[in-house]
Each structure stands twice: as C-alpha cells, then as structure tokens.
Amino acid sequence: MSGLLEVTGLRVRFRALGTVKALLRGVESPFVEAVAGVDLALAEGETLALVGESGSGKTTLARALIGLLPVEAGSVRFRSRELIGQSSSAWKAVRREMAMMFQDPVGSLSPRLTVRALVTEPYRIHGLRGRETERECARLLGLVGLPPDFGERYPHQLSGGQARRVGVARALALDPRLILADEPTAGLDVSVQGEILNLLARLQDQLGLSILIITHNLNVVRHVADRTAIMYLGRIVEQGETERVFAHPRHPYTEALLSANPQADPAARHRRIELKGEVPSLLRRPSGCEFHPRCPHARPLCATAAPAATTEGRGRFTCHFPLAGPSLPSGG
Amino acid sequence: MTAAPDLLSIRDLSLSFRTPRGRLQALRRVNLEVPRGRIVGVVGESGCGKSTLIASILRLLPPNAEVTGGAIRFEGRDLLELSPRAMRELRGRRIAMVFQDPMTALNPVLSIGRQMIDVQYREGRSRREKRERAVEMLARVGIPDPAQRLEAYPHQFSGGMRQRIAIAMALMMEPDLLIADEPTTALDATLEVQIIGLLQALQRDFGCSILFVTHHLGVVAELCEEVVVMYAGEVVERGPVEAVFRNPAHPYTARLLACDPGRIVERSRNLPTIPGEIPDLVSPPPGCVFRPRCPEAFARCELEAPAEHAVGSGQSARCHLAEGEGR
C-alpha cells in the first residue's frame, strides 16, 4: 500500500474575539485553534475513521484537507503533491480526485434541482461537456443502487437513505481516489445505516477508493475502518489499527468513549466510565495534558507537562500514563 | 389482578390525519402501559408514530388529527375526554416533558432563572421561595454555582447543561409522569452517559414514571425496564427489556436488533439491513403491516391482521407466529 494522503502538523485557526475584546478579557490569543497540529496518513484503498465529539475539530480538518478553509501551518500531501499554498485553479484539479460527502443528506442537495442535475453537476462545474448526461446519470445511479428513473425526482421526494445514495453518486461522478465522508450515517435509521456502509465498502472494493470517515459513532467505525484516529480539542490523542484501538485502547479518553457506547444488550449494563464535566472551551485550553481535568487516571504530572506522542507499531498515542496495551509477542 | 392500576394505560388507540391524499392512519390499535415508578422505553425508526403517540398523550395534536378509537387513561381518567382546562391542569404539573433539542425548548431571550420561576406560576409561593426552588433544582441536576447561574441565558450554557436545565424544569413540579422525547440524541456519547445516569438517579429520588422515547436500542437496554417496539403506527412487540432483547418474538424486533452494529461481534463489511421501506400509511398493506418486508411471512399474513399474542410473562407480540406460544 502506498501513501495517498499525508498530513503533517496541520493547524487551522479561527479568530474568536476582536483585538480589543481579547485585551479586555485578558485572553492571551484571540484565536482558537480548531485543528492544532494533526498528523495523519492514508494509504490507497484504505479506510480511516476520524472519531471525536462535537467541537473536536473533525469537520474542520476535513474541510481544510479539501481546501475549503485556509490553513495556518502544516502540510497536506496528496499523491506526493503539496496542496497547501497552491493556486485555486490547481485546487480545482485536486477536487476531481478528492470528493466530499457533506453532513445532512437532504440539506446538502439543492431542493430546486432534479437528481439527474445534481449527480451530473460535477461535470458541468469541471467543464466535461463531452459526457453524455443521460447515460452518465444512469451509470452513477446504478453504482449506488438506485433505479434510473430516480433522475426525475427532486430531493424532497427522497427518503434519508436515498438522499444519502444520491450524495454518494455525486461524490463518485469524477472518479475520485479519495472520498471524505462527513457523518455518512448521521440521522439514518439503523436498518438503513447498514445499507450505506455496505455501499461504501462495496464501492471501495470495486473502485479501489480510499475513504476518510468522520463520525462520532464508534459502533459504525468498528466495522468499516481499517484504522481509527480519536480527536480531542483539535488534536489526535490516539490512532492505530481499529481492532487494536477497540481491544486495547491506550489513551484514557479512548477508553471512556468506548465505554460510553451503549450496547443493545441488557446483560451488558456495564461499568460505564463517566467522565467529569464537558469538553473545555478552545479559548481556554487546559495546561499540561489537555484531557487531565476530565481524566479518571490523571496524576500531578499531567497538569503541568504536555505528553509527547508515543509510537507503537502502526499506532500512536499521547499520554503520560497509558493504559495496558496488548501483551507483546516474545521478543517485542 | 390486585396490582395497583397503571399510571398510564393506552388501549386500542387509533388515530389518523386528514391529508389531501386521504386518511393517513398514523396510529393503529396501540396498547401500552406505564406502571408507577417504572421507566418504559418506546423504540422505533423514523415514521413509526413515536412522536404522534406523545402528542396524543399530551393532547397537543394538530387540527387535522382525529382519534378514531381507543382510550388514554391516566390514573383511570380518559385524557381524551378531559376538557381543555382540565388538560392544562395536568400538563407540566402531573405530566411533564423533556424535548430532544434543549435550545429550542428554552426561550432564548429570557434568563433561565426567569423561566424557572415562570413555570411555577400555579404555585402559591412567594417569588423568593420560587427562586430558592429553582436554585435547588439546578443544583440537583448538577449545574455548578446555581444561584449565580440563574441570571444566565440559554446560549451561555453548553448543550449538555441546557438539557440538564430542561430536565430540572420538567421535574420542578414533581410530576407523576415524565415524557422524554429523544433527550440524548443531540448530545455526544460522553454526555449521553451523564444524562442517562442523571435520569436514573432522579427517577429513584422522585419516584416518577418515565416514558422514554428513542430510536437508540442501546439507550433502552441501559435505562429502561420495559420496552415498547413500534413499527408503521403499530406496537408490534412489548415486554420486559431483558425478555424482548434476548428473545424477540416479532420478526421486526429481531431484525432491528440484528441491524445494530454494536451487537455484531464479528467485524463485518456486509452489515445486516431491513430491505424495503415503511409502507404508505394512507393505504397500509392488507393483513400484517410488516408483511412486505418480513422474511418469515406466509399466506395468512396477507389475509388477516395479527392480534396481540402473549408470549411470556409480560411479553407480547402482534404476529401470527407468536400465537399459542404463551401457553
């Protein structure tokens, strides 16, 4: 597997306060760092899940990757080409190879366009006039398992799952290498959720796509992602192979998130790890390890010194006192 | 049958909406009981009639709705026959509600202190007593510095804190029945845990019954003692959570549980689904509503709508296959 996407030290910040207000309130910096130094890599044909709670910066990260938000620092290399700082015409070419599926399946489709116009819109935007609209529309709808006569429909005539499929068809129109799927199953019923995930898996096998799935739903991740990255306050606190992360979380936040995932099994009414408080404001990041005010295992060191990242196999985590890992094979 | 009567008992409730396309049969022959001091979960996917059910209990239905049969008994009185005035007396005081989105449930232009004092308008207390009661309730649901926070506005609280405030307001009058409509759906996983824990603790302290409506099977397993499964306007199965989740008697319940990715132990790239769609309730299919999607359907299912059959202690299912299983 060769690298498709490589992100290093990516930072995105937003101005939160005016200069005067910041001075009056005694806030050191009027900016919030929504993405605060993220390193990620995605190989060809691989699925990476980015998991975090609201405000952890997952969507901001995705939007920065596809050039919808200005980047403060860091590098994004896609197929060995640096994306940060390139011209907008160069971005246009990149967006043919990198497609985004936005949150909210119905809201991301224009209510005034038919499904046919929606799925072939990418051709118009990218000036691919030679394509035969009717045939292309039928091909794309076929790929996502919708009958060709759906081309006549308007978004309000679609169910949530069908609207999601149209979103996938749009993303596939330009034969991308990478799909950024922002909460692809949010708002869908469990019986439909599986359909969309199966569709993404099938398309991946068929077309060799790479997928970056952004979600807060850990149950979904377990089945579809090869690797999982957990975000907290704009940083990745742990990443690794999905099976390992689920079986042996090393970061206490990962462990708490996993335990917060209610199981539909009354026998498993479990020992939940209830985290204290809520995600802190990005304007006032805690000192030391940023998770320490909520961490059930925090010790004095955690409040003063920020932990460095520890690399372990293909995984990495940022914690002074990590939880027990898998027992290493002899010689490990 | 000497047990205390149920706090809420819904019998054969049918309700339809008049639409330009014809009558939409949103609820059909719904049976449901909420015993005193119990937490009952209502689960179902979108369009199954959960919200219509709540609206009919509170009698907050749109004008095109029409109850075509059945009764909703609260402490033995049929709510459908109460005068609007008597109904207003119950709402908020005896039956309270927590909504999905705490931002829209709270008034954005009034401080939360003002709103919490206002909801006590029927109490013969002084303003100071009402204020003290508000502080006490805020402290009870875990709002830090409640006395200082009374002056704050809803936007100054986080989503989790706003939901705590909404719960505090609902429980202020110590209602007998709390209806919670997807109260954790808009919250993150770690906050969902906190709110579920809070509801459990409050239910123990106040002794109220809770009717908890959700689409999340995991939350039901965690919080509820009894569960009611709805599909396309009907209660297809109900009973104790342990029994229903372990031995679902209705094929829909079984499929729904199978679809929950949290229950699938083996990692799979081919997740189970329920093929097909919810039927159009303007012209529901003849016989059983689930038949067009049911893998176990046979000839009788198309001819005859199944009755509710008991399948075990307290568990029952509307399915021909469950007939005779209780004996």
Pick the last residue of a domain from B153, B172, B191.
B172
Domain count, chain A: 1
Domain boundary among B155, B172, B189: B172
- The reply to whether B151 and B108 lie within a common domain is yes
Give the total number of structural domains in chain B.
Answer: 2
Minimum distance, in Å, between the CA of residue B74 and any CA atom of chain A: 29
User: Does residue A311 register a pLDDT over 80?
Assistant: yes
In a shared domain, residues B289 and B185: yes
Look at residue B270 and tell me if it is in a domain.
yes
Q: Considering the domain boundaries, does residue A105 fall inside one?
A: no
Q: How far is A244 from chain B (nearest CA, A)?
A: 13
The partner residue sitting opposite B190, judged by closest CB among A160, A257, A263, is: A257
Asked if B136 and B194 sit in the same domain, the reply is no
Task: For residue B274, give the nearest of A191, A256, A262 by CB distance.
Answer: A191
Segment A273-279 mean pLDDT: 81
- The answer to whether residue A330 scores a pLDDT higher than 60 is no
d(CA A97, CA A178): 6
Q: Which of A73-82, A86-95, A319-328, B126-135 has the lowest mean pLDDT?
A: A319-328
Average per-residue pLDDT in chain B? 91
Which residue segment(s) compose the domain that B106 sits in? 102-172
In a domain, A156, yes or no: no
Is the same domain home to B139 and B215? no
Is A130 a residue whose pLDDT tops 80?
A: no
Segment 157-176 of chain A within 8 Å of chain B by CB: 159-160
Contacts of B282 (CB under 8 A, 6+ apart): B19, B21, B22, B23, B24, B25
Q: Are residues B107 and B191 in the same domain?
A: no
Q: Tell me if B314 is assigned to some domain.
A: yes
ipTM score for this prediction: 0.82
Beta-strand runs (E) in A52-116: 73-78, 81-82, 98-101
Whether residue A1 has pLDDT greater than 50: no
Distance between CA atoms of residues B138 and B106, nearest Å? 15
For the beta sheet containing B308-312, the strands, ordered from the edge strand earlier in sequence to the opposite edge, are: B95-98, B177-181, B209-214, B39-43, B226-231, B234-240, B315-318, B308-312
d(CA A189, CA A168): 17
Distance from CA of A120 to the nearest CA of B (A): 27
Sheet strands side by side (includes A73-78): A31-43, A3-15, A73-78, A81-82
CATH number of the domain residue B226 falls in: 3.40.50.300
**Amino acid (1-letter code) at residue A307:** P
Give the per-residue pLDDT at B326: 53
Asked whether residue A118 is domain-assigned, the answer is no
CA distance A167 to A177: 16
What is the model's pLDDT at position A2? 64
Compute the distance between CA of residue B103 and CA of residue B162 in angstroms, rounded to an integer.
7
Chain B residues at the A interface, defined by Cβ less than 8 Å, are 45-46, 158-161, 188-194, 196-197, 215-222, 241-242, 245-246, 255-257, 259-264, 267-274, 277
CB-based contact (8 Å) between A132 and chain B? Answer: no
**Among the listed residues B178, B173, B168, B184, the one whose alpha carbon sits nearest the alpha carbon of residue B113:** B168
B91 DSSP 8-state letter: B
Contact A218 B189 (CB under 8 A): yes
Residue B161 and residue B122 share a domain: yes
**What average pLDDT does the segment A128-137 reach?**
81
Residue B251 and residue B295: Cα distance in Å, rounded? Answer: 8
The answer to whether position B3 is within a domain reads no
Q: How far is B220 from chain A (nearest CA, A)?
A: 7
Question: How far A272 CA lies from chain B's nearest CA (Å)?
Answer: 8
Q: Directed axis angle between helix B159-171 and helix B189-206, to 10°? A: 10
Do B55 and B185 belong to one domain? yes
Q: How far is B265 from chain A (nearest CA, A)?
A: 9
The answer to whether position B82 is within a domain reads yes
- Number of Cβ within 10 Å of residue A126's Cβ equals 14
The model's confidence at residue A214, banded by pLDDT at 50, 70 and 90, is very high
The residues with which B91 forms a beta bridge, in sequence order, are B95
Question: Shortest CB distance from B271 goes to which of A223, A263, A278?
Answer: A223
Domain with A300, as residue range(s), is 3-97+176-318
What's the pLDDT tens digit per position in B9-64?
999 999 999 999 999 999 999 999 999 999 999 999 888 999 999 999 999 999 99
Residue A109 falls inside a structural domain: no
The torsion angles phi and psi of B181, rounded to 5 degrees, stand at -100, 100
If one compares B280 and A129, the residue with the highest pLDDT of the two is B280
Domain membership flag for residue B2: no
pTM of the model: 0.87
| Residue from the list A268, A274, A279 with its beta carbon closest to the beta carbon of B193 | A274
pLDDT of residue B285 exceeding 80: yes
**Chain B residues with CB-CB distance to A265 below 8 A:** 221, 245, 263
Check whether residue B71 and residue B195 sit in a common domain: yes
Q: At A271, is the pLDDT very low, low, confident or very high (cuts 50, 70, 90)? A: low
Q: At A75, is the pLDDT very low, low, confident or very high (cuts 50, 70, 90)?
A: very high
Please give the average per-residue pLDDT across A42-54, as a whole number.
Answer: 92
Residue A325 at interface with chain B, using a CB cutoff of 8 Å = no
Nearest to A190 among B190, B196, B259 (CB): B259
The C-alpha atoms of residue A80 and residue A6 are separated, in whole angstroms, by 8
Identify the H or E element spanning A88.
helix A88-97
Which of B129, B148, B172 is the C-terminal boundary of a domain?
A: B172
Are B124 and B244 part of one and the same domain? no
Chain A residue closest in CA terms to B193: A260
pLDDT of residue A245: 94
In a domain, A140, yes or no: no
Residues of A in contact with B277 (CB under 8 A): 159
- B1 inside domain: no
B307 against A278, higher pLDDT: B307
Locate A242 and state its tokens.
């999905």
Do residues B120 and B76 share a domain?
Answer: no
- How is B183-207 classified by DSSP, letter by letter? TTTTS-HHHHHHHHHHHHHHHHHH-
Segment A73-98 mean pLDDT: 90
Q: What is the pLDDT of residue A117?
A: 93
Arithmetic mean of pLDDT over chain A: 88
Contact criterion met (CB below 8 Å) for A177 and A4: yes
Q: What is the pLDDT of residue B36?
A: 94
Q: Is residue B249 part of a domain?
A: yes
Give the number of beta-carbon pairs within 8 Å between A and B. 121
Residue A329 host element (H or E): none
The total number of residues shown for chain B amounts to 327
Per-residue confidence (pLDDT) for residue A270, from 0 to 100: 63
Which of A265, A273, A274, A278 would best serve as a mutation to test chain B binding (most B beta carbons within 10 A)? A265
Q: List pLDDT tens digits, range B185-214.
A: 878 888 888 899 999 999 999 999 999 999
Question: So what's the pLDDT on residue A269?
Answer: 65
Rounded to the nearest angstrom, the minimum Cα separation between A293 and chain B is 14
Spell out where chain B has E strands. Answer: 8-19, 22-34, 39-43, 65-74, 77-78, 95-98, 177-181, 209-214, 226-231, 234-240, 308-312, 315-318
Of the candidates B51, B62, B26, B34, the residue with the CA atom closest to the CA atom of residue B215:
B51
Give a yes or no: residue A292 inside a domain: yes
Residue B2's pLDDT is 43
Q: pLDDT at position A16, please?
A: 80
Same domain as B140, residue B65: no
User: Distance between CA B171 and CA A169 in Å, rounded?
Assistant: 47
Beta-carbon contacts of residue A273 (< 8 Å; ≥ 6 apart): A255, A256, A259, A260, A296
Above 50 in pLDDT, residue A332? no
From the list B45, B263, B268, the residue facing A265 with the nearest CB is B263
One-letter amino acid at A289 equals C
Q: What is the pLDDT of residue A42?
A: 94
Q: How is residue B279 annotated by DSSP?
A: P
Tell me what pLDDT residue B70 has.
96
Beta strands in chain A (DSSP E): 3-15, 31-43, 47-51, 73-78, 81-82, 98-101, 178-182, 210-215, 227-232, 235-241, 309-312, 315-318
Asked if B158's CB is within 8 angstroms of A190's CB, the reply is no
What CATH number should be reported for the domain holding residue A202?
3.40.50.300
Q: Within a domain: residue A141?
A: no
Of residues A18 and B131, more confidence is placed in B131
**pLDDT higher than threshold 70 for residue B320:** yes
Whether A4 shows a pLDDT value over 60: the answer reads yes
Per residue in A186-202, pLDDT tens?
Answer: 888 888 888 899 999 99
Of the candidates B189, B190, B259, the beta carbon closest to that of A191 is on: B259
8 Å CB contact between B165 and B102: yes
**Is residue B58 located within the same domain as residue B113?**
no
Residue B95 reports pLDDT greater than 90: yes
